[in-house]
Amino acid sequence: MYVKKIAVVGAGTMGADICYTIATRGIPVVLRDVDEAQLTRAKKHIQELFDGRVGTNKMTLADAQDRMGFITFSSRLEDLDGVTLAIEAVTEQIRVKEAVFRELDQTLSSMALIVSNTSALSISHLAEVTGRPDRVAGMHFFYPAHMMKLVEVIAGDQSSDETIDTVMRLAEEIRKIPVRVKECPGFVVNRVLMASMAEVLRFKEEHDIAAAEIDQAITEAKIAPMGPFFLADALGLDVAYEVAQYLTQALGARFRPSDELKNMVAEGHLGMKTGHGFYSY
Ligand SMILES: NC(=O)c1ccc[n+]([C@@H]2O[C@H](COP(=O)([O-])OP(=O)(O)OC[C@H]3O[C@@H](n4cnc5c(N)ncnc54)[C@H](O)[C@@H]3O)[C@@H](O)[C@H]2O)c1
């Protein structure tokens, strides 16, 4: 199937970067959010990414302006007219995603595909709330989505081969490396990442060690390019908490989030996006 116009639904941390990535390939894309302030923030962020490319001579000003013109920032459902594939990137809560999947199912042409950028939730479950379960799949980008090459492509129980082929081709067209993975809680990367993240968060709590001290030890030992606490702040502590809770329910206590993480989320300290998390920004 030919993808001629894309919608990215949810203009947060991931949605904005995914939208930028699509626009740089010259594909028309609508970035939709219900929150106008998020759309304004996303537009500023995307403009900064283009400015950065121009500033480092990786793109001409004219090309950057041209590519920016491929994006429609909108809170209006009418702007999804003509969309042939929608990428859902809203809050990692199953009820919120179910509502968005129902809305997209009612709004888009019956031929259109709906894919989810969920970190861990069931693609088969989301497919079931639509009348087109064969046209639903997972398309899981990694943070920061404009830089990270890997995309996990997940088939739900009813995804058709044509749907998966289209998603794999689209990922390649936007210069990503798609890997088809089996549907299971957390898929592959988050299952591994979140197990180690849960362990390091509990270690901090049990031994009362500063986040910066653990991050420094891990980066100096070259175990990872950035420390787990800095990474958690960048990903969004609410996302990390939701995923950890879901994986705990699905796979057991080894994914249990620390009390400190739970308390920070309850207090609205979500990391970089709110200016305060394990670090202050
Ligand atoms: N943050 C990461 O590092 C990361 C990495 C990979 C995948 N993901 C997944 O991507 C998704 C989005 O995560 P994020 O970090 O960008 O979240 P975020 O909190 O930064 O953004 C979520 C956005 O969804 C919007 N939204 C909520 N309800 C909506 C609705 N009904 N219609 C339209 N927009 C709505 C919110 O206004 C917000 O702008 C989640 O499923 C998450 O698990 C996140």
129 lies in some domain:
yes
72 and 91 together in one domain = yes
156 and 227 together in one domain = no
Sole residue written with tokens 């670090």 = 279
Q: Which residues are catalytic?
A: 140
pLDDT of residue 1 exceeding 90 = no
| Beta strand 71-74 pairing with 113-116 | unpaired
pLDDT digits (tens, 9 = 90+) for 67-107: 999 999 999 999 999 999 999 999 999 999 999 999 999 99
CATH of the domain at 89: 3.40.50.720
Return the residue whose CA atom lies nearest to atom 30 of ligand 1. 34
201 lies in some domain:
yes
* Enclosing domain of residue 134: 6-181
**Rounded Cα–Cα distance for residues 255 and 207 (Å):** 18
Percent pLDDT > 70 in the chain is: 100
Q: State the average pLDDT over residues 119-139.
A: 98
Amino acid 59 reads M
107 and 245 together in one domain = no
pLDDT digits (tens, 9 = 90+) for 196-232: 999 999 999 999 999 999 999 999 999 999 999 999 9
175 and 202 together in one domain = no
The count of domains in the chain is: 2
Last residue of a domain, one of 156, 181, 206: 181
Last residue of a domain, one of 146, 181, 216: 181
10 Å Cβ neighbour count for 251? 16
**Rounded Cα–Cα distance for residues 119 and 127 (Å):** 16
Sole residue written with tokens 């203009």 = 11
Q: Is residue 261 in contact with ligand 1, taking CB distance under 6 Å?
A: no
User: Would you state the structure tokens that stand for residue 99, as one six-digit string?
Assistant: 């509502």
CATH of the domain at 220: 1.10.1040.10
| Beta strand 136-140 pairing with 150-155 | antiparallel
Distance in Å, CA 33 to ligand 1 centroid: 10
203 and 160 together in one domain = no
109 and 82 together in one domain = yes
Distance in Å, CA 242 to ligand 1 centroid: 12
